Structures are given as C-alpha cells and as structure tokens.
Structure 1
Amino acid sequence: MVIIGCGFGGLEAARALRGADVAITLVDKTNHHLFQPLLYQVATAGLPAPAIAAPARHLFRDQDNVTTLLGDVMAVDPAAREVRLRDGQALPYDHLVVAAGATHSYFGRDDWARFAPGLKTLADAFEIRRRVLLAFEAAEKESDPGRRDPWLTFVVIGGGPTGVEMAGTLAEIARDTLPGEFRHIDPAAARILLVEGGPRVLQAMPESLSASARRQLEKLGVEVRVGSRVTAIDGEGLEVQPAGDAPALRIESRCIVWAAGVAASPLGRQIAEATGAQTDRAGRVVVEPDLTVPGHPSISVIGDLAAAQSHQPGHAPRPVPGVSPAAKQMGRSAAGNILHRLRGEPTQAFRYRDYGNLATIGRNSAVVDLWTPWRRIEFSGWPAWVFWLFAHIYFLIGFRNRLVVLIDWASAYWSRQRYARVVTGIDPGVRDA
C-alpha cells in the first residue's frame, strides 16, 4: 500500500499498521514530519526548526514494513492503481491513503502571496522570521520617521488560532525581547495589528473565550480590528474595508503575515477528477462514512484533504474540523478499515472525538475550551497557558523534541529572550518567487 503525506494523518495511519502483514510505502515531498501547531514559534524565533520536526526515516527506523520515499506526488491513477511522482516514477498500490494536507488560500488573489506569506511549512516560517527581524534592522537605519514607521508596523491577517498566536508573539518580541538592542529605534513602539473579517477572533470558540482572547491581545498592545475585510495587498502595505459604510483604510506596512485562509492540496481536485468524486469549496474530497472515495474503496482520503463527517451513534452526521487531532483519528480509522478489508470484514464509519480547542496569546495568557465526557470546561489566563504548554509538549513527536522545547521555553520564560534569531541576507524586502 501507499501513504501520501507524513503529516499527522499519514504518520498515524502508518503507525497503526505496525506489525500488520502490509508493505507500506510512505511518500512525502519533505523528509520530515512537522508539528504544525508550533510552527509559529519557529517563525517568531522562539524555537529552532529541529525542535518541532523529525526526519521521517528516523521515525520509522524500527518499523520494518514501512519504506519512506522523498517525492512530489503529481497524480493518482485509479485505473492503473498507481501514484505518479514528478520525477516520472510510478508507485503501484493495492490500498492508498491520501493525507496530502492543505495549503494557503488567498480567496482568488494568489498575487498577494509574495507580499503576505502564509505559514504551513518550515520554509514559510523561515521567510516570515526573516521579514520580521530584518524589518527592525531596516527601521534602525531609517532616519525619516515617515519612512521608518511602515517597517515598525506588523499586520497579521486572520483571527484564528494561528493569527492570534502570531500577533501575540510579535507583540512580545517588540515589547520584551528586542528593547535595549537598538540605538536609534524603540522596538517597543512597534505597531502590531490583527485584522479579522468576522465579528470576533477565535470564532470556533465560545464568545466568552473569544472576548477573553481579545482582551489579552489588547493588553499586550495588539490592535484588534474585527469586521474588517482586506481588499488589497502590495509591497507597501494593505487596504482594509471596515464593516458598515466606513471608508477603506490604508495601512502602510512592510511586514504582513497571512493566516486567513486554508485550501486543500491541489491533489484533491486531481483525485476527484480521476474518480468522479465531489469536492467542496475548499477543494477537499467528499468521502464516504468510512473515509474512502465513493466507488473506489481502495482509496482513503484523510486529514485536511477530506470533507469528512463524524458518524456518532444516535446523532446526525457532523462535519469534521481541519485540526490535527481529527487528522490523527482519521489516520487510525483508515488503517483499521484497511485491516478490516484484508480480513473480509465490513468497514467502520468514522467517529470523531472532539476534545475541544486551545490557543495561546502570549506569556501567561491563553484560552482553553475543553470537552470532557462529563461537561464542557472553559478557562483562560495563566491556568490555560500552563495547560496549553504541557499539552503541546505531550503531543510532540519524540523525547528529544519534548526535552528541547521544554528547556527552550523555560529559558525564554525566565530571560524573556528568543535565541533562534539567525537569518541570512540583509535585504528586508519582498523576495521574488
């Protein structure tokens, strides 16, 4: 069998088949598994990249039925039962698990990508870190206040967990990490804006936690603009249309981060065209209750690439959110159903167990919406921050990564410093693709 993608879903599917009489080829266009919930920490110099990534070959060194390949999947051929790579190689399969993940969505304005990078890969994190740190360097050299201010204006677009965490961390960099290191600027005077098109930040959480998150952001000095739609982005800044009849607002900024939209990997549409399956507006493949493609029981689609529903007994089907716990559970479910088929048994409908949501805002600040079998628990502030911290350490892959992150976070907490601040080059501007 073939598994496409070494994210949460693909990794969990392969691990669930440990010891099974199945020969697995795991193919990914990177050589590592990435713990995406902490990717923003790399982008903001809080953690080094190896702390949240692990080589795929190392992860499966003791699982003899897994062969890992580095390759870029271009297409799936259901008729030939082959996965085709960019280099021309074809991988035959009896069973296929597609966990190719998601990418950024600019809502039809892909030309904005070069001015406002998103955050999905280590390369994205390195680019955002470069732009953030070199913006302060450019401001240090600029004597004209009118030309300096855009370098000290940072805009995060999107008020979901990634946007909230990014904005809060940028404020901490400006207020806590950099003061005293520059001679001609005051980093603490930097302006951090969070722009959200909806009525509130963290819309997946209860309104009380959303309001708490906004208060904590504003306490850090972040300007939160909700109900504001971005209408233009260029190399000099962006235009924002507030709600109602207010005129459009121009914000001059040289560092913009996109955290507003997600789209499925283009592989989803290719699979849909090849199989006759449907896709939703985000390009996700609409799957059967057991996560297989309609009419193609040998192909399972999981994670951010699947428009899946949870089928809990006694309840109407509910859409599965695009979060890492869901991807992991889908990986285990898809692997289990492959074993059912091999034994000639009926497959099982996917049932998602929702444990809730959490997001950190900054030092000692977070919000947690925890779903237990007994009741829903909501809390924020320092207790939520401690819960967020240990939850992320627990779910990291590998003991070494957990230890490194724990040590780095402890050091940063007491020193208020961020030591992963090495970038290359001296040009702070937009790089051509």
Structure 2
Amino acid sequence: MGATGKEEADIVDRTEVVIVGSGFGALAAAKKLAKAGKPFVLISETTEHLFQPLLYQVATGVISPGEIAPSVRAILAKYPHADVRLGRVVDVDPDASTVVYEAGGIRHTLGYDHLVAATGARQAYFGRDEFADLTYALKTVDDAERLRRQIVRCFEEAHTTSDPEHRKNLLSFIVVGAGPTGVELAGQIKELAQRYFADAIHNITADDVTVTLVEGADKVLPPFGGKLSEYSKESLEKAGVEVVLNTLVTDIDEHGATLSTPTTEESRRLTAETIIWSAGIQANDFAAILAERTGCETVRGGRLLVDEDFTVGRADNIYAIGDMVTLDNLPAQSPFAMQGGRHVAKMILGKTPAGTPFRYKDKGSMAIINRFRAITRVGKIELTGFIAWVLWLAVHLVYLVGFRNRYIAVMSWCGSFLGHRRPHFYYAQEPTPAAAPEQPVAPAEGEPDKEPARASA
C-alpha cells in the first residue's frame, strides 16, 4: 500500500477495535464497547453524528443543523478508552489486520484486532451520475443547507421578478422518489407555501406553488403498502401536492425534467428551478475497498452481501453494518444499523459467541407526511393521522442525542407546527454583494459620449 504522493507515517499504531463511521450503527457499537471498557478508535470523515431522518427539517427551516448533528467527541468524551479521530479510511489489509487512513494530508497505518465498518450510503442515480449536478440530494448537512438556500432564493426571486414564466418556474418543485424523504420534503415544501411564505410574502399564495412528487412504483411509500400508502397519497393530494406514480424521470436539465410512463409510453416535460432527488441509495466508497480486499460479494448499489453475523467475505474479524450492507432484505434504516452495531459489539466483547447469526427485532416503521399527519405500523397495528404524528415526534425525540438537543427541537417544533414560524430560515440569507458600477470613461477627443456600462447584481 503505497503513499501515492501523500506523506505516510512510519509508525504503525495499534488498538483492539477500529470503527469506521459515525452514524447510527457506528455509534451503537461504540457505546456498547465503551461501557464495557473496551479500547477502540473511531475514525470518521465528519466531526458529528448526523441524525439523518430529520435532515428535511433542516432544509425547510424547522430546526438548525446543530440540533441533529452533535459532536461525536462530545458524545464519547466520558469514556476513557474511546479515541475519536477525524480522517478518511482509504485502504485495509485483512491479512495484516491494518487500515490506512488520511488525516491532515498524512497517511497513518492503524492495526486492529477487530474492524467494524459503518460508513453508510449516499444517493444513487442509477447510471445517470450527471443528475447529481442538476438536482438537490439530502444525505448530509451540507446538502440540507444547500437546499434550504435554494428554497429561500426561489421564493425571494419570485417575489421580485416581473417575468411570469420565470416566476412560475421558481415556484415549481419536483421531488423524485416517494420514499420517506421524498414524501416528507414534498409535504413540507407545500406547507411552507401555505403557512410561512403566504404570510411573509404577500404577493405569493399557496396556489402559486407547484410541488410534484414522482415515483416509479405504483404507490407512495412502497414498503408500507395497503391503506397506509393510500392514506399518504390522499393526504399529500389534499395538501396540494401532485402525486405521479408508475413514472420514471428519464432526463433532467437546468430548467426541468422529462417524465416517462412505461405502461402508456407517454412522456411529458415539467419545468422547475428545483429538482430534489431522493430515489435510491448506494454504498459509500469504503464498501468497494472492503469487497476487493476480502472477496465479499456486492449487490445493486455496491452494498455488501455480508454473512449472517455481519462478517465480510473471507475475513472473520471484519464486520460491516448499516446502509452499506444487505442482509435478508432487511430495511436500510436506523433500527437495522443500531441493532447490528450492538450485535457486533456483543460478539467482540464475548457476550455473544462469535458467528452468532443476527436476528432483527422489528419495532415498527413510521413516516411523517405533513403537519398533524403521519403513518405508523407496529406489528399488526396501523395508525394514521394525528396519533401517528404525535408518536413519530415522541420516537424521534428519544433517539435525538443529548437533553439540550431534545429541548431545542421541541421548541422549534412548537414554533413551526403550532405557529407559522420557520426559526432557522434566517441562516439561509446570504446576499451576494452587487458588483461595483464601472466608472465612466471620458471619451477621446472627437468621439461621441458613450453611456457607462451598467453592472448587474
């Protein structure tokens, strides 16, 4: 493993367990090991533990990034055997039991007894990677802040433009993918138009704002199905969202998207300034490295096909958990990641025999649609409407890390859902200073006077 132009440390450090990542699975494993006094090093590309299910609320101004992204160091600070390092793992040697990670432009080699990979997943574009530059994703805090700035820009420009066609495009939003993220965003954008911008900007009404939710399957929130999917569709349509099912997005450019319905072979063009892509996931880059080094099989999206105990390929001391793996078609959601992290930690600690197959405990599924509307399934019990919405709030409060985060989240929810405020939209106000006007140049003798050039903002 060469340095490839980077300075590489000569000393090989060692620890008992290396955890790669800082998401739900990584943190669940880390806490289990830390409470047992097991030394470990957690390596993450980011300094925070991101509560990804609430990213859409950052994008729509309900809460701030700090409320859903506490510091990993702060979470693990009370455990003396926990060592958190900011870096990016770029290679692994299963035979030598070492990983190589980059930090501050320097490559470090770290030995381990056990390796736990939990690097999550990113947005998948199904072979159309050029869509990434033309759409807005929602996988990171940067993604959420970028989308929030775009939403504010669209409404502010629509307020001042005199071009009706440009105004229409500014107030048109296309959301691709009717999974939880797509449904939550579509519902929240329409609610913004009805309850926030309609009051704040007097020449924009909710009817001026078009939100189109496009899904390739025949239902909204396909994993739920039945009456829950139908309730979600009806709730969105009552709120003013146009729901388009059995339809694929075949092309995207800077001003809109082309939709195609395979069953009827019909195509149509939608214009919009904002296209949000929330269809599908693929494993992050470290999954491909693990697959190559251990001989592990991969499935669609580069996700690792792990053994029943989460071991990877031919390595019996390397585990992979969370969104980067697939196991028994279990859902790529936070409960699967957290339960997987705890299961792996128990095997490392010897509390569970090595090689013990993982058994998933389904604690239910839920999704929020818009204000006062959500769906919940726990076993055979299915709930909709206000009761499901309150339950959704309660469960997400439990999973938020830290009392201060929970308290601030409750205050933000009260202001946004009970009132008409979006307390964190002011963060998005980043005006670009206008260019200084050019100074008029005195005409040469015999030349007519010329009008000075006008600077555009």
TM-score computed with the length of structure 1 as normaliser: 0.92
Q: Secondary structure at the match of 1:180?
A: helix
Q: Secondary structure at the match of 2:396?
A: helix
Contact 1:179–1:188, Cα closer than 8 Å, also in 2: no
Answering whether residue 220 of structure 2 is matched by residue 201 of structure 1, we say yes
Contact 2:168–2:208, Cα closer than 8 Å, also in 1: no
Deviation at 1:141, TM superposition (A): 2.2
Aligned to 1:109: 128
Q: Deviations over 1:288-326 (max 9, x none)?
A: 1111113211100000112223xxxxxxxxx22100000
Q: Deviations over 1:183-238 (max 9, x none)?
A: 54335420011010110110000311000000110111000001110001111111
Aligned to 2:92: 76
Give 1:4-23 correspondences, 5 Å limit: 4-23=20-39
Aligned to 1:423: 428
Matched residue type, 2:39: A
Q: Secondary structure at the match of 1:96?
A: strand
How big is the alpha-carbon RMSD for the aligned residues of Structure 1 and Structure 2? 1.5
Matched residue type, 1:261: G
Aligned to 2:8: none
Aligned to 1:211: 230
Q: Which runs of 5+ in 1 are unaligned?
A: 310-318, 428-433
Aligned to 2:118: 99
Choose 1 or 2 for highest CA Rg. Answer: 2
Deviation at 1:85, TM superposition (A): 1.7
Which 10-residue stretch deviates more, 292-301 or 95-104? 292-301
1:368 corresponds to which of 371, 376, 381: 376
Which 10-residue stretch deviates more, 74-83 or 52-61? 74-83
Aligned to 1:238: 257
Aligned to 2:61: 45
Q: Secondary structure at the match of 1:298?
A: strand
Aligned to 2:200: 181
Aligned to 1:403: 407
Q: Secondary structure at the match of 2:418?
A: helix
Matched residue type, 2:409: V
Q: What percentage of residue pairs aligned between the two structures are identical?
A: 38
**Using the alignment, how far apart are the partners of 1:180 and 1:18 within structure 2?**
50
Matched residue type, 1:405: A
Contact 1:31–1:70, Cα closer than 8 Å, also in 2: yes
Answering whether residue 306 of structure 2 is matched by residue 283 of structure 1, we say no
Count of aligned pairs: 412
Matched residue type, 1:138: E
Matched residue type, 2:395: A
**Using the alignment, how far apart are the partners of 2:32 and 2:138 within structure 1?**
28
Q: Which runs of 5+ in 2 are unaligned?
A: 1-16, 433-457
Contact 1:97–1:300, Cα closer than 8 Å, also in 2: yes
Q: Which runs of 4+ in 1 moved over 2 A?
A: 18-22, 180-188, 242-247, 343-347, 424-427
Q: Secondary structure at the match of 2:198?
A: coil
Deviation at 1:266, TM superposition (A): 1.5
Answering whether residue 388 of structure 2 is matched by residue 384 of structure 1, we say yes
**Using the alignment, how far apart are the partners of 1:50 and 1:180 within structure 2?**
27
Q: Deviations over 1:403-425 (max 9, x none)?
A: 11111111222322111102154
Q: Secondary structure at the match of 1:33?
A: coil
Aligned to 1:338: 348
**Using the alignment, how far apart are the partners of 1:335 and 1:43 within structure 2?**
34
Which 10-residue stretch deviates more, 279-288 or 92-101? 279-288
TM-score computed with the length of structure 2 as normaliser: 0.87
Q: Deviations over 1:87-115 (max 9, x none)?
A: 31222211100000000100011111121
Contact 2:415–2:423, Cα closer than 8 Å, also in 1: no
Question: Which structure is richer in relative contact order (CA contacts within 8 A, separation 6 or more)?
Answer: 1
